Amino acid sequence: MDPENLIEQCFIFHGLPARVLNDIVAIGSVKKFNAKQTIFMEGDRATGFHIVITGRIKIFKLSTEGREQTLHVFGPGEPFGEAAVFAGTRFPANAMAVKKTETFYIPREAFVLLLKKDPSIAMNLLSILSRRLMSFAVMIGDLSLKEVPGRLATYLIILMKQQGKSDSVTLDMPKSQLASLLGTIPETLSRIFAKMQRQGIIAVQGPHIKILDLEALEELSGTEFRD
Amino acid sequence: MDPENLIEQCFIFHGLPARVLNDIVAIGSVKKFNAKQTIFMEGDRATGFHIVITGRIKIFKLSTEGREQTLHVFGPGEPFGEAAVFAGTRFPANAMAVKKTETFYIPREAFVLLLKKDPSIAMNLLSILSRRLMSFAVMIGDLSLKEVPGRLATYLIILMKQQGKSDSVTLDMPKSQLASLLGTIPETLSRIFAKMQRQGIIAVQGPHIKILDLEALEELSGTEFRD
DNA sequence: CGCTGCGTTGAGCTTCTTCAACGATCGTGG
DNA sequence: CCACGATCGTTGAAGAAGCTCAACGCAGCG
């Protein structure tokens, strides 16, 4: 799998002319990370950003006591660290591979020059950053205004849509990781799962969740799901 | 105050050639809002975005029970609603004038055409969206990983820097609004203020806060403040 | 003067975290 | 092949943080 094919398939560079793609491939390089290896840390100067080629990474913040809040989990084709690069600041969070991962690394200086030469590169970036900004807005609202059952319900419904199922979902990460994404801890999440099961809303078998009462789930979620 | 001068002074359009600025002024229009007037609501289709000319607006989410989480408070020169416009989706939150406000409104369709014609417009936008994304990342971390005293301490320290003071700050909004920004309610914020005062960390006189023990405040905050 | 918005304080309660223990699964090296 | 450690998940008991509800004070202003 050579970088060029992968790069042009990523949404971030989709639709760009071959000339520009070549420039991008020319300034970047492939980096490899083992599971649990740190890619960058909060406070590091953002000297470049990555695009996941294979594997999976998470972006997270740590409290002083060591609790973890996951902001994002990214897979193939998704860029991360770009915001800090464009803003020219330090990374506001940590990045770690959750499994063996390859990334395409693009250094800041060269990329900023490319951007100036070819501002059309910015268009897809605008769209990506906008989407992430909005998903963060939702996350802030959920963290602040919903309780854990509501957040879990919302997550399950979104996952259902993603997986195109109407009565079951399969969690795409360990429950402990999900807890961190939902802004809680494994113990609490486990209790909520048990409670929702007791209430007959879902049935849990490991990572497989049967949705028994979608109505109740939507009620718990409190979110309107319009296109 | 005619729009043209204001528009070119905004960071969002800073450094653009006169030709482009004229185009932008041509497609936009001035809108006026009274205090407490809704500008747009969560779920509305994003048919355009605004730039604050005078006044002040807030972006916020509401829980089903009516509690409010403020995401942003914006003043003159700051754009809002752009993310939903670039992503072509609905607004993920509400916007309301907190006092009498004028905005420069830019409709989506025309602006997207302009962007395609002149991608250089996108550069400043990239920087703005990146900064907001990072500030949201911080907000998520704070909401999830810090308790209210920590968030308040962080806010006070940032405000000190903004105001260039070293031993006092003046709150730039009502305490009830601050509560919503910090992800809590007025009662709780009031209690925290009282407690920090009892502990000799600060002295509160209405909106004026004297910082008596910066050390303790930084300790509470838990954030490293690097450049 | 009385209304309205803002702020404060108290009492009770819910939610969630902490701490601790325990069970299950899985991959690996002996 | 089994034993071991590591990861993951579950459950219980206790405690902390923050929310709800309610009452009240105070200031500004029509």
**pLDDT tens, position by position, B182-199:** 999 999 999 999 999 999
Residue of B94, B130, B142, B143 to mutate, interface with A, max A Cβ within 10 Å: B130
Distance B192 CA to C7 C1' (A): 13
**Tens digit of each residue's pLDDT (9 = 90 or more) over B25-49:** 999 999 999 999 999 999 999 999 9
The conformation of residue A204, written as its DSSP 8-state character, comes to: E
Rounded to whole angstroms, how far apart are CA atoms A187 and A175?
Answer: 10
Which chain A residue's Cα is nearest to B181? A144
Question: Does residue B78 register a pLDDT over 60?
Answer: yes
Give the Cα separation of B154 and B172 in Å (integer).
15
CA angle B4, B9, B13 (to 5 degrees): 85
Cα A37 to Cα A1, A22, A34, A100, distances in angstroms:
23, 29, 5, 9
> What tokens were used for B141?
């971390």
DSSP helix/strand/coil, B70: strand
List chain C nucleotides near protein: any atom < 7 Å from a Cβ: 5-11, 15-20
Q: What is the pLDDT of residue A51?
A: 96
> Quick check: B4 pLDDT over 70?
no
Q: In whole angstroms, how far apart are CA A166 and each of A153, A173, B36, B156?
A: 14, 20, 41, 48
Give the pairing type, strands B94-97 and A202-205: unpaired
Residue type at position A157: I
A37 CB neighbours strand D below 7 A: no
Indicate yes or no: CB of A83 within 8 angstroms of CB of B140. Answer: no
Closest nt to residue B179, judged CA to C1': C7
Quote the tokens at residue A53. Answer: 């080629």
Spatial separation of the C-alpha atoms in residues B99 and A134, rounded to whole Å: 25
* pLDDT beyond 90 at B5: no
Q: Which pLDDT score is estimated for A5?
A: 74
pLDDT in tens, B129-177: 999 999 999 999 999 999 999 999 999 999 999 999 999 999 999 999 9
B123 touches chain A (CB under 8 A): yes
pLDDT digits (tens, 9 = 90+) for A16-72: 999 999 999 999 999 999 999 999 999 999 999 999 999 999 999 999 998 999 999
Which pLDDT does position B8 carry in this prediction?
Answer: 78
Q: Tokens for A124?
A: 């897809």
Q: What is the pLDDT along chain A (227 residues), one digit of tens a residue?
A: 566 677 778 899 998 999 999 999 999 999 999 999 999 999 999 999 999 999 999 999 999 998 999 999 999 999 999 999 999 999 999 999 999 999 999 999 999 999 999 999 999 999 999 999 999 999 999 999 999 999 999 999 999 999 999 999 999 999 999 999 999 999 999 999 999 999 999 999 999 999 999 999 999 999 988 87
Residue B1 predicted with pLDDT over 70: no
| Proportion of chain B above pLDDT 90, given as a percent | 91
Question: How many CA atoms, within 13 angstroms, populate the side-chain half-sphere of residue A63?
Answer: 20
Does A144 contact chain B (CB < 8 Å)?
Answer: yes
Neighbours of B64 (CB within 10 A): 12
Amino acid B28: pLDDT? 95
Task: Report the first-to-last Cα separation within chain B, whole angstroms.
Answer: 35
Encoded tokens for B146: 């810090």
Ranges for all domains in chain A classified under CATH 2.60.120.10: 3-132
A188 beta carbon to strand C: under 7 Å: yes
> Is CATH 2.60.120.10 correct for A3-132?
yes
Cβ A103 to strand C below 7 Å:
no
Would you give the DSSP letter of residue A31? E
Query: Taking each helix axis from N to C terminus, what angle separates A108-117 and A121-145, rounded to the nearest 10 degrees?
Result: 120
Summarised one tens digit per residue, pLDDT across range B81-119 is: 999 999 999 999 999 999 999 999 999 999 999 999 999
Strands (DSSP E) found in chain A = 29-33, 38-40, 48-54, 57-62, 68-74, 79-80, 94-97, 101-107, 168-170, 202-205, 208-211
Alpha-carbon gap, residue A212 to A190, rounded angstroms: 18
Residue nearest to nucleotide D18 (CA to C1'): B188
Residues belonging to chain A: 227
User: Has residue B227 got a pLDDT over 80?
Assistant: no
Options 1.10.150.530, 1.10.10.10, 1.10.1370.40, 3.90.79.10; which CATH number does B146-221 get?
A: 1.10.10.10
Yes or no, beta carbons of B146 and A61 under 8 Å apart: no
CA separation for the pair A31, A35 (Å, rounded): 13
